[in-house]
Amino acid sequence: MADAGTEVYAVLQRPGRIWAVAAIHGEAALLARLHAALAGVLRRGDRLVYLGNYLGHGRAIIATVDELLRFRRWFLTLSGAEPWDIAYLRGAQEEMWQKLLQIQFATAPAEVLEWMLGQGIGATLAAYGANAELARARVREGPLSLSRWTNELRRVMHQHPGHDELMTALRRYAVTDDRRLLFVHAGIDPAKPLAEQRDNFWWAGAGLGQLSEPFEGFVRVVRGYDRRRRGREAMAHALSVDGGAGFGGPLNAVCLAPDGDIQQWLEG
């Protein structure tokens, strides 16, 4: 799943339009409906960025990842489409999942696990054949038992074709090659430069509303997940796409012109 850019971020090159898909949260049926709608409006030169949180909360996580992979295969059959025309951002759920797979190295694994469970990681555990009580038991048994357990989680994930590859293809953020549009999962800290945001991409959602001027010259900062679930929201220099998928709301996608102008909304 190569893309233009680096292992940290993706670059959307020479876009005609950019479609940005909000947090999905295991809502495979919503994603399939959204993809069906997208298939009817995509045109040559369009780019596609998924804004993270494919995992967590919902009960169809395996089907969600499978649907992401299926649509990628379809997208790449379009005339002129290249692998780097699609970007997948790492959401908070994917970040937690990767940390969970290394939880045996955590200083306080019991505390880390409980915090993750409170953030919705239990749904992803269940999808890959585990549960919260089993996880707690392995934590109590110590690092060796935890290592065996996380290895088993990796083995189960590997049994689902493409799931490992998608998780390793995730990027922290995406930009258009003219640096007019910045795509993030949940937010940024306006006081820090882009290269130093680190965990702010997942946890600093309030920062977008504080932007009194374009952040590092970007016309818009576009995010896919709002913890306060206020629905889609246009701010002075930012745009929130989240419709509340996984919490009873729709799955949104927005189409943007390269200058940041909103062209169209779709719902799954």
- The tens digit of pLDDT for each residue in 32-51 reads 999 999 999 999 999 999 99
What's the pLDDT at 236?
A: 86
What's the pLDDT at 2?
A: 47
**What proportion of the chain, given as a percentage, has pLDDT over 70?**
97
Identify whether the C-beta of residue 52 lies closer than 8 Å to the C-beta of residue 93.
yes
Of 171, 195, 196, the closest CA to residue 185 belongs to: 171
- The tens digit of pLDDT for each residue in 49-102 reads 999 999 999 889 999 999 999 999 999 999 999 999 999 999 999 999 999 999
Domain(s) of CATH 3.60.21.10: residues in the chain: 9-91+170-267
* DSSP summary character for residue 5: B
What's the pLDDT at 1?
A: 58
Of 34, 57, 85, 72, the closest CA to residue 225 belongs to: 57
Task: Report the chain's mean pLDDT, rounded to a whole number.
Answer: 94
For the segment 154-165, the average pLDDT, to the nearest whole number, is 96
- The tens digit of pLDDT for each residue in 164-213 reads 999 999 999 999 999 999 999 999 999 999 999 999 999 987 778 778 89
Task: Cite the DSSP H helix spans in the chain.
Answer: 28-39, 61-75, 92-100, 109-118, 122-127, 132-141, 143-158, 163-168, 200-203
- Residue 174 φ/ψ, nearest 5 degrees: -135, 150
Separation CA 56–CA 22 (nearest Å): 14
Separation CA 107–CA 6 (nearest Å): 30
What's the pLDDT at 211?
A: 83
Q: Which two tokens stand for residue 228?
A: 């306060």
- Please tell me the CATH code under which domain 9-91+170-267 is placed: 3.60.21.10
Query: Is the Cα dihedral 245, 229, 164, 42 positive or negative?
Result: positive
Which are the contacts of 231, defined by CB distance < 8 A and separation ≥ 6?
242, 243, 244, 249
In which band, very low, low, confident or very high, does the pLDDT at 5 lie, cut at 50, 70 and 90? low
For the segment 114-137, the average pLDDT, to the nearest whole number, is 95
pLDDT of 252 over the 70 cut:
yes
Residue whose pair of structure tokens reads 């994603």 in the numeric block: 31
